[in-house]
Chains A and B, each alone.
Chain A
Amino acid sequence: MRAIRRFRFVLLAAVVAIVGASAAAIALADTSPGSTLEQIEAQPGPEAFIASYGLKASEGKAAFTLQNGQTVSVIDSGSTRCLLHGVESKVAGRCFTEEAVSAGEAITVGDECGSSGQNRMEITGLAPEGMVGVRLNSSDGTSRETTIVDGAFRFEGTNPTEDGPHPTGVEWLDGNGATLGSAALPVSGDGFCLPTS
């Protein structure tokens, strides 16, 4: 009789645990991280933006390594994709819905503007699902193309000179090279290098 009671108790505890774990998993999946300001307030550290989605940088799949030594990796959690940049043991990145990716919100532009560096510029981002290539347009009418690796793309070069041409935006290309959409860069014209005074 006592054994039956104990079995019932264990069974009940197991059911409660499973229900609780499922509820927690659903709550995590539905996490709405709010504004990025709330994200860095809630989760200190370089991984703040990723952690706010309940994801870990270690889940990233390596896509490529940039000339400046940074690694670029991608997390695809189904409803959300994240673009990560890593240096040594530090990894940072942000996560986006497919709609935001199509709008170009997952594009970042890195500038090494100081006199002590090599004036490298990296344009990295996530491309919309189904795309095969990305075209980068420049203010002088020229363009160049790259392929997409694990959903991510990169263009590397040097900072625009003061009066020289500068990148203006990207086009999403399908397997036939046709443009299926476009997006602006998160920097324009004279905004590439920021002052230090």
Chain B
Amino acid sequence: MRERSIRAHLAVIATALLSAVALSMTTASAASAFSESYGFYEVGNNGFVQSTGAHTFFWNNGAANKGGTLACQLFNHEGTNEVEHGNGGCTVFYYGGKFVWARVYNESGGSQVIGGEAGT
């Protein structure tokens, strides 16, 4: 009877430890990575979609449903302005560590659905 009780306690302790490890790993992962998808609606030529907020974005992917020329941008109003132009899609990096906004420009010459995903 006593042996069974000890086993039960050990099982509870083991479960608690595993849960704590799993929770800490999840929390650490969430703290180190943030990403935001934005846009995904139709814009005209030279129009853009933009992230809902500024963040310490490291990368920004831009895409379109039809293709053509796109430009990905990470910028702020303190002098940061990184741009990459590509065909059908684009990715720009910024590694200055400041808060920046993310944009994708439609430079295809016509209207299309464009979207972006930016992450830290």
Interface residue ranges, A against B (CB under 8 Å) = 35-41, 44-46, 48-49, 69-70, 85, 87-88, 90, 92-94, 100, 104-117, 185-187, 191-194, 196-197
Can you list 23 A-B pairs with a CB-CB distance of less than 8 A? A35-B66, A35-B67, A37-B115, A38-B65, A40-B37, A40-B116, A41-B37, A41-B40, A46-B119, A49-B61, A49-B91, A85-B91, A87-B95, A88-B95, A93-B91, A94-B88, A104-B87, A109-B85, A117-B79, A186-B85, A191-B85, A193-B83, A194-B75
- A113 touching B83 by the CB < 8 A rule? yes
Among A35, A36, A41, A187, the one with the most B-chain Cβ atoms within 10 Å of its Cβ is A36
Encode B67-85 as 1/0 by CB contact (under 8 A) with A: 1011101011111111111
Between A39, A107, A113, the greatest number of chain B beta carbons within 10 A of the residue's beta carbon is seen for A113
**B50 → chain A closest CB, angstroms:** 11
Query: A116–B78 contact, CB under 8 A?
Result: yes
Residues B91 and A111 in contact, CB atoms below 8 Å apart: no
Restricting to B8-64, which residues have a CB under 8 Å from any CB of A? 35, 37, 40, 58-59, 61, 63-64
> Quick check: A49 and B85 within 8 Å, CB to CB?
no
Secondary structure at the B interface, as helix, strand, loop or mixed, is: strand
A185-B40 in contact (CB<8A): no
Count chain B CB atoms within 10 A of each CB in A69, A104, A117 and give the residue with the most: A117
Decide: A48 near B69, CB < 8 A? Known: A36-B88, A112-B82, A191-B107.
Answer: no
CB-nearest residue of chain A to B39 = A37
Are the C-beta atoms of B84 and A114 separated by less than 8 Å? Answer: no
Is B64 a contact partner of A44 (Cβ separation < 8 A)? no
Contact of A90 with B82 at beta-carbon distance under 8 Å, contacts A40-B117, A46-B119, A48-B61 already known:
no
Known contacts A187-B69, A196-B81, then 4 further A-B pairs from the complex at CB < 8 Å, ordered by chain A residue: A39-B63, A49-B91, A187-B107, A194-B75
Complex: chain B residue closest to A110, CB-CB? B84
Given the complex, which residues of A lie within 8 Å of B115, measured CB to CB? 37, 40-41
Bound-state CA distance A106–B78 (Å) is 32
**Contact of A37 with B40 in the complex, beta carbons under 8 Å:** yes
Beta-carbon nearest neighbor of A123 in chain B: B85
The verdict on A35 contacting B91 (CB below 8 Å), with A117-B80, A186-B85 known, is no
**Among A35, A70, A112, contact of B63 (Cβ-Cβ < 8 Å):** A35
| Contacting residues, chain B, for A70 (C-beta < 8 A) | 93
The answer on a CB contact under 8 Å between B85 and A36 is no
| Bound complex: CA A93 to CA B72 (Å) | 13
Q: Mark B81-111, 1 if CB is under 8 A from A, else 0.
A: 1111111111111011000000101010000
Which one, A45, A94, A110, contacts B83 given CB within 8 A?
A110
Closest Cβ–Cβ distance, residue A115 to chain B (whole Å) = 4
Contact assessment for B71 and A37 in the assembled complex, using a CB-CB cutoff below 8 Å: no
Compute how far the CA of A67 lies from the CA of B86 in the bound complex, rounded to whole angstroms.
20
Question: A36 contacts B67, CB within 8 Å?
Answer: yes
Chain A to chain B: the 5 pairs with minimum beta-carbon distance, closest first: A116-B79, A114-B81, A36-B63, A36-B89, A92-B91
